[in-house]
Amino acid sequence: MAPLTSSTRELFSEGVRAVLETWPVLQIAVDNGFGGAYSQQKAEWMVDALLQYFNDNDDLQQEEVEDFTSELMNNEFDTVVDDGSLPQVAQTVCVMFQQCQQGKLTEVREQINQLSLKKSAGRAKATPAKTPDDEEEEEEAMDCDGGAAGPSVNGAAVKEPQVTGHEEQDDGWTVVRRKK
């Protein structure tokens, strides 16, 4: 297919930017500084890197774009994308490129508008996953023996965790458990 003209190249650039700005994995990496002090600049550079990749290679397949984007995320943000979103991002970018080549600029603009609405709806936030230990601590914090003797906070008795003996596991690790 024919290379992009300057106007379609500009529209494709806007489309790639919209896709990357609404990609939760990249948002989280930038917001949490996975790329270091220049995370935001690296995210903006990724747009240019993808544009150059499409410019330098003819007839790119979705898998090639996935691999390239995955490599960028790994190298620049120390992030391995395994949430299943990478194929979707690559497919969207490839479809936009094909539409730009075919002169279907209205469709591309419509996709950009939809992505802009999605972006304005809110950014993804990373929240730490609860571990079983966290849930156990919450349960213990909620347990209150009203008449128990011992330390109290605002009139409610507080249970002090008691550590029992050490327990040896098969894999060589020692597990320390609290007595309930």
Distance set, CA 47 to CA 13, 21, 31, 67, 149 (Å): 7, 10, 17, 15, 64
- Overall average pLDDT of the 8-21 stretch: 94
Total number of domains constituting the chain: 2
Specify the pTM: 0.64
pLDDT in tens, 55-88: 999 889 999 999 999 999 999 999 999 999 999 9
pLDDT of residue 137: 55
Q: Characterize 52-79 residue by residue with b for buried, 16 or more Cβ atoms within 10 angstroms of its Cβ, and e for exposed.
A: ebbeeeeebebeebbebbbebbeebbeb
Query: Does residue 154 share a domain with residue 75?
Result: no
What residues contact residue 99 under an 8 Å CB cut-off, 6+ apart? 105, 107, 108
In a domain, residue 127? The reply is no
Structure tokens, 148: 């128990």
Domain C-terminal end among 121, 153, 170: 121
* pLDDT, greater one: 79 or 150: 79
Contact 45, 35 (CB under 8 A): no
Determine the Cα–Cα distance for residues 50 and 32; give it in Å rounded to an integer: 22
Strand partners, 175: 167
pLDDT of residue 5: 77
Contact 46, 20 (CB under 8 A): yes
Domain extent for 51: 6-121
Instruction: Answer yes or no: is pLDDT of 23 > 80.
Output: yes
Domain C-terminal end among 95, 121, 147: 121
